[in-house]
Amino acid sequence: MWEQRGIELRRGIQDFNGNDILSYLARNQKEVLHRVDKENKSVIKAIRIQQEVVLIKLSIGDQELVLSFPQLIRPTIHVSKVATDFVDEWFDLSRDLQPFYDLAHGDEILKEVVLAYKGLRIVGVEELFEALSWSIMGQQISLHVAYALKQKLVTTYGESIVHDNEEYWVFPTAQKLASLEVEQLRKLSFTQRKAEYIIGVAELIATGQIDKEQLQVMSLGEMEARLTAIRGIGKWSANYVIMRCLRHPDAFPLADVGLHNALKKVLNRSEKPTLDEIERWAEHWSGWRAYATFYLWRTLQD
């Protein structure tokens, strides 16, 4: 686990593919919620701790993670605990991946993929509102356009902190966006529907009608049913949120275009597989379909 060494916190880690995780974090130049330094194998991110914005830096060694606080002389015990808990959840560090490796070893589709990226962990989205908003922004548009929307939203309504002349942002709160009018998001290039959906989700979270802890004690089926009852959240969005925020390893965004393209690439096909084919293959991935999806996504970056 984490150990305090001077002003740094360190955690030994073995089953962790830092290079591929950093590649995932750096996949789009418009990403505004963290900054990756691939040469020095580190990532800097702003997080909220008791309503304050705090900057953390995570350096990724071969068998060790080093967490530091670029703007704090010495973090309090509470700040250190919140930050280490955040990193643990961000990279799903508590999960034993050996059962997934065992499953993949006997699967013709996953075998080589998992061997190539072993140690890759699902990069999470801690805040439920951010996860739901990101899933709405990504509906029926390219990833690049979705990142552009997120950049506009975050830099208009989020909070930031400056370090070494660089600005680091945190995602807007549900309370902040719940107070907006649809037209304010329309000015940021959101469609009418997406603006309505995001403000609607913000209102649900701001008023406590839905929260992460409430969802995490549910079964996968219950989570999906609760989320798809929200206006603007279909099965794809629900499973994306369950996968990256609620952390259920069997969430499965069946309709995901990236998943389809990855399977087409891995199978060396001229056309994408059908949904029926994917469902049939995924039966063998039961219990680990979220991880199967995340590993297949990784192949699209090569």
pLDDT in tens, 134-183: 999 999 899 999 999 999 999 999 999 999 999 999 999 999 999 999 99
Per-residue pLDDT at 51: 87
Among 258, 249, 269, 267, smallest CA distance to 111 is for 267
Could you write out the three-class secondary structure of 31-97? Answer: CCCCEEECCCCEEEEEEEECCEEEEEEEEECCCEEEEECCCCCCCCHHHHHHHHHHHHHHCCCCCCC
Give domain status of residue 72, yes or no.
Answer: yes
Cα–Cα dist 117/298, whole Å: 8
Residue 120 to residue 118: CA distance in whole angstroms: 6
Q: What is the CATH number of the domain that holds 30?
A: 3.30.310.20
pLDDT in tens, 264-290: 999 999 999 999 999 999 999 999 999
Structure tokens of 146? Answer: 């979705």
- Other beta carbons within 10 Å of 285: 21
Containing structural domain, residue 228: 128-244
Structural domains of the chain, count: 3
User: How far is Cα 71 from Cα 265, in angstroms, rounded to an integer?
Assistant: 44
Q: Is residue 119 a part of any domain in this protein?
A: no
| CATH code of the domain in which 161 resides | 1.10.340.30
Q: Is residue 15 part of a domain?
A: yes
Q: Please give the pLDDT value at position 232.
A: 97
Q: Looking at residue 5, what is its pLDDT?
A: 84
Q: How far apart are CA 264 and CA 15, in angstroms?
A: 28
User: Within this chain, do residues 100 and 86 fall inside the same structural domain, yes or no?
Assistant: no
State whether 269 and 183 are in the same domain. Answer: no
Q: CB-based burial of residue 90 (10 Å sphere; 0-12 exposed, 13-18 middle, 19+ buried)? A: buried
> Does 211 share its domain with 297?
no
In this structure, what CATH number is given to the domain that contains residue 302? 1.10.1670
Alpha helix positions (H), the chain: 18-25, 77-90, 98-105, 111-117, 128-137, 143-157, 174-178, 182-186, 192-206, 212-216, 220-228, 235-244, 257-266, 275-282, 289-298
Same domain, 48 and 61: yes
Residues 234 and 132 in one domain: yes
Does 100 lie in the same domain as 86?
A: no
Low-confidence ranges of the chain (pLDDT < 70): none
- Both 177 and 238 in one domain: the answer is yes
Q: Report d(CA 201, CA 215) in Å as an integer.
A: 15
CB 295 within 8 A of CB 120: yes
Q: 155 with 254, same domain?
A: no
User: Within a domain: residue 149?
Assistant: yes
Residues 57 and 134 reside in one and the same domain = no
Among 15, 88, 256, 276, which one carries the catalytic annotation? 256
Asked if residue 120 belongs to a domain, the reply is no
Residue 302 falls within a domain, yes or no? yes
Residue 113 belongs to some domain of the structure: no
At residue 6, the pLDDT reads 80
- Residues 133, 233 within the same domain: yes
In a shared domain, residues 151 and 198: yes
My answer on whether 35 and 138 are in the same domain is: no
Residue 147 lies in a domain: yes
User: Is 107 assigned a catalytic role?
Assistant: no
C-alpha–C-alpha distance, residues 250 and 298, integer Å: 18
State whether residue 10 is helix, strand or coil. Answer: strand
| DSSP one-letter code for 26 | T
